[in-house]
Amino acid sequence: MKLVNQRSTELKVIYGPALAVDAVLFTIDKDELKILLIKINSGPYKNKWAFPGGLAQTKETLDETAKRVLFQKTNIDNVHLEQLYSFSDLKRDVRGRVVSVAYFALVNNPYNFKIKTTSYYSEISWWSVKNLPPMAFDHQKIVNYAFERLKSKIEYTNIVYSLLPEEFTLTELQNVYEIILDKKLDKRNFRKKMTSLDLIKKTGNKRKGEVHRPAELFCFNRRKLVFL
């Protein structure tokens, strides 16, 4: 496919840059932060990997486009997508002038989804952000931006709730922060901070079947975005 951006002199209509969306999905699997990518099967970006994305249609909003292309190209739906940033480098797509609005979402268990993609793509897989394959377009730039945004956002919101099940231990909660920030946190200070922020509460349940003493289970006071 070749994208054409031109001005029609007869109809006096401007065919401006194509508008696309790309969906960045984060998850934590086996103590690694991962993103979902699809491998392009043909064209100028053959054998490179990309985020699920596509061009916006004339009768849909960008939010609707993001949900549509995510489902069509990954079989994933019912996740909260949030606008991340607009990427508009002039040569980000060799086929023509394309501006992409990136979205991102967090999912707490990649095995809850039966991922599959279309015939245009040869593979679909979760990749560690520390070990990414060759990326198409400017998607490496999008990865970097999304990762930095995520690290920043966990400092002033409760966004990590999307990466955890309904009930979790404090150790599991701390582990999520450590994986994203890529550093160890002091256990006592971390728990003190979580308690003072009033983001979580005890459920009254305990994790059974552990080698050590059963750990108390917690839950978030609200499983929706809260700014601190």
- Of 127, 153, 179, which marks where a domain is finished? 153
User: What single letter denotes the amino acid at residue 113?
Assistant: F
Angle at 161 between CA 50 and CA 60, to 5 degrees: 50
User: What single letter denotes the amino acid at residue 71?
Assistant: F
Note whether residue 179 is domain-resident: yes
The pLDDT assigned to 6 comes to: 53
Note whether residue 226 is domain-resident: no
The pLDDT assigned to 226 comes to: 87
Instruction: Output the six-digit token pair for 187.
Output: 């256990």
The secondary structure of the chain, three-state, reads CCCCCEEECCCCEEECCEEEEEEEEEEEECCEEEEEEEEECCCCCCCCEECCEEECCCCCCHHHHHHHHHHHHHCCCCCCCEEEEEECCCCCCCCCCEEEEEEEEEECCHHHCCCCCCCCEEEEEEEECCCCCCECCCHHHHHHHHHHHHHHHHHHECHHHHHCCCCECHHHHHHHHHHHHCCCCCHHHHHHHHHHHCCEEEEEEEECCCCCCCEEEEEECCCCCCEC
Q: Are 170 and 146 members of one domain?
A: no
- Report the pLDDT averaged over residues 12-16: 60
Q: Compute the distance between CA of residue 228 and CA of residue 219 in angstroms, rounded to an integer.
A: 17
pLDDT in tens, 94-124: 989 999 999 999 999 999 999 999 998 999 9
Expressed as residue numbers, the domain containing 14 is 6-153
pLDDT in tens, 169-182: 999 999 999 999 99
Q: How confident is the model at residue 210 (pLDDT cuts 50, 70, 90)?
A: low
Q: Are 31 and 110 members of one domain?
A: yes
Q: How confident is the model at residue 1 (pLDDT cuts 50, 70, 90)?
A: low
- Of 153, 186, 210, which marks where a domain is finished? 153
Q: Are 14 and 127 members of one domain?
A: yes
Q: Are 46 and 82 members of one domain?
A: yes
- Count the domains in the chain: 2
Note whether residue 227 is domain-resident: no
Q: How confident is the model at residue 213 (pLDDT cuts 50, 70, 90)?
A: confident
pLDDT higher than threshold 60 for residue 197: yes
CATH of residue 149: 3.90.79.10
Tell me the percentage of the chain whose pLDDT exceeds 70. Answer: 92
Q: How confident is the model at residue 13 (pLDDT cuts 50, 70, 90)?
A: low
- Whether 30 and 111 have beta carbons less than 8 Å apart is answered as no
Rounded to two decimals, the pTM is 0.89
- Of 153, 179, 211, which marks where a domain is finished? 153
Q: Are 41 and 94 members of one domain?
A: yes
Under 8 Å CB-to-CB from 31, ≥6 apart: which residues? 175, 179
Under 8 Å CB-to-CB from 196, ≥6 apart: which residues? none
The pLDDT assigned to 60 comes to: 95
pLDDT higher than threshold 90 for residue 22: yes
Q: How confident is the model at residue 207 (pLDDT cuts 50, 70, 90)?
A: confident
Note whether residue 225 is domain-resident: no
Q: How confident is the model at residue 224 (pLDDT cuts 50, 70, 90)?
A: confident
Q: Are 113 and 193 members of one domain?
A: no
Q: Are 11 and 115 members of one domain?
A: yes
| End-to-end Cα spacing for the chain | 46
Query: What distances in angstroms separate CA 9 from CA 3, 13, 14, one per listed residue?
Result: 19, 7, 9
pLDDT higher than threshold 60 for residue 162: yes
Mean pLDDT (the chain) is: 91
Angle at 213 between CA 211 and CA 167, to 5 degrees: 95
